[in-house]
Structure 1
């Protein structure tokens, strides 16, 4: 049974064309040796939580980076279908899924990793049926539902408590570093996940989507990070979305405002 999802107000996501930014390893952002040690321990813990199943199971050898065939976790579909049913009810959701070309999902949800194209094609199939605003809300709630599942089932409680007792910045760094080490491949597919320290002292999260999709798919990733950060790091920490389209690559960026 899916967890009940709390609705959060939606905000417009700005679109900007800009050059690709350099990739900086997260480990280089940790300010102290002790923080680095804790981060590595946390990444190991997250490996137990994320790498087992839930968002992940075994990869198909050779498909890890192939656009379209690269695998993502089943929660991309499970939670999107659940959010549709929460909003529209079982009957209407089943009709929408059928019209989008994914009617089987109304009664047959995946239990293992799925090709990334299934998720992105579902998003594209739903867009003309419910419009951008409703689809953005559905995806955000699906991401939130995924995060709630992780907190309830896959991320060990002692790791959650460890992150909660840290100051805000180290807590955020360790959480994001651990995700990058152990769990990011379960949602990035053929794309890329990385973290940047901005000049103004904030931390930027990037999820690059290479498979042809819609910029509003960023709302799924936004829902995941928004819920995890507000639950484990700071309930008041602003997580601001910014979507950049660069040569058909979608850069879903989330600015964590520490200052």
Structure 2
């Protein structure tokens, strides 16, 4: 993608298709085809089940999908499905997007250095998963990521963090590239009234 096209996608609020593709896959794996169709129909995205998006999608579609998950499934099921979708997304990135040479270098580095290098890469590509949200990273141990105006929980209200998709994506990437004991957790969420969704990654 050219820089001009990337800038246009960022300003328009577009998100990589894995936010939809891997959520469909997680639903099918964990809940079956019927629940996948229920959720995607509620989000008005049912055509994606037979013809998955090949390019960046409008962030409003991702927002609708996550709202539909919460409207269709119980809270525990939503958390499990969202986390599985995040894990699948990270595995896709490791297989298809992050060069094998870069992965080998990260694994050879001390965890602190690897976490900084990985955080730089994630920050550079944050527009592909945060849309019009604003991503910031504070590398170190622990590493802290924040997403303000977060698309996953935009317009939703809960009493606990709900961005399990992001937490699982970050955790899987860190566990594979930084330290096998890496864990990520969302400590505050805009849906619960926080100023930003905050994720702490430690190992």
Normalising by structure 2, we get a TM-score of 0.85
- When residues 103 and 143 of structure 1 are mapped into structure 2, their CA distance, relative to the original with a 3 A threshold, is same
- When residues 210 and 232 of structure 1 are mapped into structure 2, their CA distance, relative to the original with a 3 A threshold, is closer
Number of residue pairs the alignment of both structures matches: 197
Partners of 1:167 and 1:101 lie apart in 2 by 46
What runs of 5+ residues in structure 1 fail to find an aligned partner?
A: 1-50, 53-57
TM superposition outliers: structure 1 runs of 4+ over 4 Å: 246-250
Partners of 2:49 and 2:189 lie apart in 1 by 33
- When residues 127 and 246 of structure 1 are mapped into structure 2, their CA distance, relative to the original with a 3 A threshold, is closer
Partners of 2:111 and 2:42 lie apart in 1 by 45
Counterpart contact for 2:86–2:167, Cα < 8 Å? yes
Aligned mate of 1:231, from 166, 176, 181: 176
Partners of 1:92 and 1:245 lie apart in 2 by 27
Partners of 2:13 and 2:191 lie apart in 1 by 21
Counterpart contact for 2:119–2:139, Cα < 8 Å? no
How far does residue 112 in structure 1 lie from its aligned partner after superposition?
A: 0.3
How far does residue 147 in structure 1 lie from its aligned partner after superposition?
A: 0.5
Counterpart contact for 1:81–1:106, Cα < 8 Å? yes
Secondary structure, in 3 states, of the residue corresponding to 1:234?
Answer: coil
Query: Deviation string for 1:48-94 (max 9, x for gaps)?
Result: xxx69xxxxx4473x633xxx41000000001111111112223322
Aligned-residue Cα RMSD (Å) equals 2.6
- When residues 152 and 197 of structure 1 are mapped into structure 2, their CA distance, relative to the original with a 3 A threshold, is closer
Normalising by structure 1, we get a TM-score of 0.68
How far does residue 184 in structure 1 lie from its aligned partner after superposition?
A: 1.1
Aligned mate of 1:90, from 30, 33, 38: 33
Answering whether residue 176 of structure 2 is matched by residue 176 of structure 1, we say: no
What runs of 5+ residues in structure 2 fail to find an aligned partner?
A: none
Map of 1:9 onto structure 2: none
Structure of higher CA gyration radius: 1
Query: Deviation string for 1:106-143 (max 9, x for gaps)?
Result: 21210000111100111112212102221121111111
Secondary structure, in 3 states, of the residue corresponding to 2:84?
Answer: helix
Q: Which protein is richer in helix relative to its size?
A: 2
How far does residue 247 in structure 1 lie from its aligned partner after superposition?
A: 10
Secondary structure, in 3 states, of the residue corresponding to 2:135?
Answer: strand
Map of 2:188 onto structure 1: 243
Map of 2:142 onto structure 1: 202
Greater relative CO, 1 or 2 (CA 8 Å, sep 6+): 1
